[in-house]
Amino acid sequence: MDESPDSQERLSTAQAAARLGISEAGVRKRVQRGQIPYERDETGRLWVYLDASVTEGRKSRDRDGRSRESSASTLLLDELRAHNRTLAEQLEAERRSNGENRRIIAALTQRIPAIEAPVETPQGPPEASTAATEQPGRIEPPASVEGPQEGTERVPWWRMFGT
């Protein structure tokens, strides 16, 4: 960069970073690598020389780069917002479903006392409610006989196969 000093601007690292669209550390690293002309004053402060025409071109490129980044950020934000709306709709649907389930459970638990419990007799199994046996058109199953029947012995199941 052996250009005349008239075409170059003397800038601090912060100013150069702003012009180039990079961080101050990036400017220092370029100075360290010899990519940017520089000088240090008597206090040790770093001054960078940048060509005005080069920085103007970079400004417009940086501006375009920022607009590309912002459009990508905008697209990402739009996508995240749409996903967030979808999740909110799903959550609301689940809440409605849960409310309906609670309503059904409440209605069923209110009916539990209305259902008669079977009456136990001291001789045998609980008898069914009389309302259940008095239904018109219902055929009752034959009464079961408990215990072994007369004249028959109980045979183990494996003896039934002839062994």
pLDDT at 135: 54
| Domain ranges, residue 94 | 70-113
CATH number of the domain enclosing 35: 1.10.10
pLDDT tens for the chain, 163 residues long, are: 444 556 788 899 898 888 888 999 999 999 999 998 999 999 989 999 988 765 554 444 444 455 555 678 888 899 999 999 999 999 999 999 999 999 999 998 888 876 666 666 667 655 555 545 555 565 655 555 555 556 667 777 777 776 5
**How far out from the chain centre does Cα 14 lie?**
42
Q: Are 11 and 53 in the same domain?
A: yes
**According to the model, what pLDDT value does residue 100 have?**
96
In a domain, 11, yes or no: yes
Determine the residue type at 58: R
User: Would residue 88 count as lying in a domain?
Assistant: yes
Closest CA to 11 of 60, 28, 2: 28
Query: Does 80 map to a domain?
Result: yes
110: alpha, beta or left, given left = phi > 0 and alpha = psi -120 to 50?
alpha
pLDDT at 4: 52
Q: How far is CA 128 from the centre of its chain?
A: 52
This prediction's pTM: 0.33
